[in-house]
Amino acid sequence: MSSGGHRFDPTLLREYDVRGVVGDTLSAADAAALGRAFGTIVREAGGRSVAAGYDGRLSSPMLEAALVDGLSACGLTVKRVGLGPTPMLYYAVHELDCDGGVQVTGSHNPPEYNGFKMMLGHAAFYGEQIKRLGELAARAAYATGRGTTEDHDLLERYVARLAADYRGEKKLTVVWDAGNGAAGPAMVKLTERLPGRHVLLNETVDGTFPAHHPDPTIEKYLVQLKDAVAREKADLGIAFDGDGDRVGVIDQHGRVLWGDQLLALLARDVLAARPGAIVIGDVKASQGLFDEITRLGGKPLMWQSGHSLIKAKMKETGAPLAGEMSGHIFFADRFYGFDDALYGAVRLLSLAAGSKLSVGELRDQLPVFVNTPELRFPCSEARKFAVVDEVKARLKAAGAEVTDVDGVRVKTADGWWLLRASNTQDVLVARCEARDQAGLARLKQQLIGALKPSGIEPPEF
Ligand SMILES: [Zn+2]
């Protein structure tokens, strides 16, 4: 049956998703081959149908069409949900009884990028499974059959589901920024259903991202939102990344609530309803998060960064809530367990509307630490994992208190520092956090000292 194999660019198949530069490392032929390889895996697992959707990038419709051809050539029924945020595709897999799903998305990356996020059954598809796509494509070892396609307009139903979990009477003024990404149309419809006053920014989908880069975890891309919150005297501001699976939040003073602070607040309602439940934060999160989960009567669990890994750990442990510094927030409490930034916003607004305190006051109740931002030190692809292993080995030999679920996180009397190899770039990622500036200075020196024997001399930070 082989009709000649297909080779993906070696940079295309990554740990948590598939991503490349359109016209350079990613083409329609890649999308078709990915559809065939992924469709083959769905068929092998006994599946019959897959959902397909796409984000607002200029190249997305072209890639989606090729993807759908590949999937249906495997004999699958392809349920096309069209343009929408990635979580709407996840929702489609659950609600349209699909055996898997593929979203064409370049997430928060620049306009020339695109890629794919996948689900097999109700689980994230990642790691070794993604490598297997390359093997199947290289051999053209594909399932065959006569597939069909169906169009499903899910937007109203999806938004109604999000809004159904809103609680709270207080009328809030909220500024929202979709960054011209795929969350825009859902954001418009969602805010029509919510009480209060809603001011919308960049709600029109535009794959050139004319206003700013669609990444709400980088503070310079929140300037427009901050200005609007101040001008409108709003209670808070909410921003989404390009495909609506990551959220950024600012309070009424324009101060950012980082992913771990957001999770610490969202944990209140969840743990009140489910005392003793596990809440998962990633290794980049503040000690303040884990302390707060304990204080609220929950069980904190520190896990590896990466949305696919967090979702798998939630399933394994039955955790009703998880989150990452990067702004992925995952609710299994009253929801499906996937990362949906719009749903996270609904839950945050419920919390704010149900509280006597302002968002800024809620933020000020959280434990205060001083920390570095996420630090990025250049390190070659060939060396980055080895450097982390070397540092870990030296620390363990020296008797340091080390957590190694992801890279190495070292706890000292001052606080902690983290070193890990990025899965997506040729950098080492580090972060330090202490109770005060003097402690932070000591942690930084320890980090520099730990890297030196491996030949890494970080630029000043
Ligand atoms: Zn995203």
Report DSSP state, residue 75: T
pLDDT band with cut points at 50, 70 and 90 for residue 3? low
Is the pLDDT at 175 greater than 90? The verdict is yes
What per-residue confidence (pLDDT) applies to 312? 95
Residue with tokens 């994230």: 124
Return the pLDDT at 23: 96
pTM: 0.94
What is the whole-number distance in angstroms between the Cα of residue 215 and the centre of ligand 1? 8
Which residues belong to the active site? 107
Question: pLDDT tens digit string along 7-34?
Answer: 999 999 998 899 999 999 999 999 999 9
Q: Give all strands (DSSP E) within 152-287, no chain letters.
A: 173-177, 197-201, 236-240, 247-251, 256-257, 278-282
Nearest to 206 by CA among 240, 181, 242, 177: 181
Q: Which amino acid, one-letter code, is at 439? A: G
Tell me the CA–centroid distance for residue 340 and ligand 1, in Å.
9
Average pLDDT (389-394) is 96
| Distance of alpha carbon 426 from alpha carbon 75, whole angstroms | 39
Radius of gyration of the chain (CA): 22
pLDDT digits (tens, 9 = 90+) for 285-343: 999 999 999 999 999 999 999 999 999 999 999 999 999 999 999 999 999 999 999 99
With residues binned 3-state (H G I as helix, E B as strand, rest as coil), the percentages for the chain, rounded to 5, are: 40, 25, 40
Structure letter (DSSP) for residue 13 = B
| Separation of CA 143 and ligand 1 centre (Å) | 30
pLDDT in tens, 355-389: 999 999 999 999 889 999 889 999 998 999 999 99
pLDDT category of residue 168 using cuts at 50, 70 and 90: confident
CA distance 346 to 162: 7
**Alpha-helix runs per DSSP H in 365-436:** 381-397
Q: In this prediction, what percent of the chain has a pLDDT beyond 90?
A: 93
Residue 2 confidence (pLDDT) above 50: no
Distance CA 352, CA 257 (A): 13
Q: Taking the alpha carbons of 388, 391, 392, 393 in that order, is the dihedral positive or negative?
A: positive
Average pLDDT over residues 66-79: 98
Looking at the DSSP assignment, which residues form a beta bridge with residue 88?
Answer: none
Q: Locate tokens 């500024």: which residue?
A: 175
CA 103 / ligand 1 centre spacing (Å): 11
Contact partners, residue 106, CB within 8 Å, separation at least 6? 19, 55, 57, 113, 114, 115, 242, 243
Q: Are 440 and 432 in contact (CB under 8 A)?
A: yes
Beta strand pairing call for 375-378 and 401-403:
unpaired
251 token code pair: 């309070």
CA of 107 to the centre of ligand 1 (A): 4
* Distance of CA 117 from the midpoint of ligand 1 (Å): 10
Q: How far is CA 244 from the centre of its chain?
A: 9
Cα–Cα separations (whole angstroms), residue 376 to 349, 373, 421, 431: 33, 9, 10, 9
What pLDDT does residue 155 have? 98
User: What is the distance in A from the centroid of ligand 1 to the CA of 345?
Assistant: 15
Tell me how far the alpha carbon of residue 348 lies from the centroid of ligand 1, in angstroms: 19
pLDDT at 1 > cutoff 60: no
CA 20 – ligand 1 centroid, Å: 15
